[in-house]
Structure formats: C-alpha cells, structure tokens
Amino acid sequence: MDLRALTDAMHAFVTAKGWYAPDSRRPQTPRNLAASLSIEAAEVLELYQWREQADPAALAGELADVALYLLQLASLSGVDLEQAILAKLQHNYGRSWDAAPADEPPG
C-alpha cells in the first residue's frame, strides 16, 4: 500500500467516525492535528521511559498513530508528503551535521 492509499484509508476512517462533520467534538483542523501528532510522538518516547527497549506491539501501535496524524495533517494542509520527503532527503544529502556553519538554519 502506498502513501496515497494509506491517506485514503485514513480519510475513510475519519469520515466514518464523523470527525469531519462541522459539529464534530473532535474538529480535524491543522492545529488540532499538529497537537495530536506531537502528543502521539511523545507516547512513542514514553514507551522508552526508564528502559532501553519498548514492547514491539505497543511501539507499532504508537508509530501507526503518529503516521496517521502525519498523513492527515499533510493531506489537509495540501502538502504532497511523498514529494516533501524526497525533497528533504535531497536537501539533507548536501548538509553536514558534524561541522555546520553558524549561519545555517536548522532543519
């Protein structure tokens, strides 16, 4: 399954739950999705709190949550995630993390 199919499946799920409805108690706004993405990423980190290994099933579930919010935020914001990832990889090939100039912006 590619990113487009995963995005379509995510939209189908959100629609089925009624979360795209104007009166939803869980408005799917970019701001809310960004917050949810951050919260889910923190839950990944929480799996490693005080330990070196995470339960593989729990990790898989939290990573899936992160991916779903990422797909939804990109889609609703008009970001072609595949192209953004490829562009970022290309940009990163030209970067050095060991001796970056002081005037190079992070990211």
Domain boundaries of the chain, sorted by first residue: 3-93
Mean pLDDT of 12-34: 98
Q: Helices marked H in 18-105 — which ranges?
A: 30-47, 56-76, 81-93
Q: How far apart are CA 63 and CA 6, in angstroms?
A: 14
Position 95 confidence tier, pLDDT thresholds 50, 70, 90: very high
Spell out the CATH class of 3-93: mainly alpha
Q: For tokens 């290994």, name the residue.
A: 53
- The size of the chain, in residues, is 107
DSSP state of 31: H
* Joined tokens for residue 106: 């992070």
Q: What pTM was computed for the model? A: 0.87
Query: How does residue 103 score in pLDDT terms, banded at 50, 70 and 90?
Result: low
Cα(56)–Cα(58) distance, rounded to whole angstroms? 6
Provide the pLDDT confidence category of residue 93 given band limits of 50, 70 and 90. Answer: very high
Instruction: Give the H or E element holding residue 32.
Output: helix 30-47
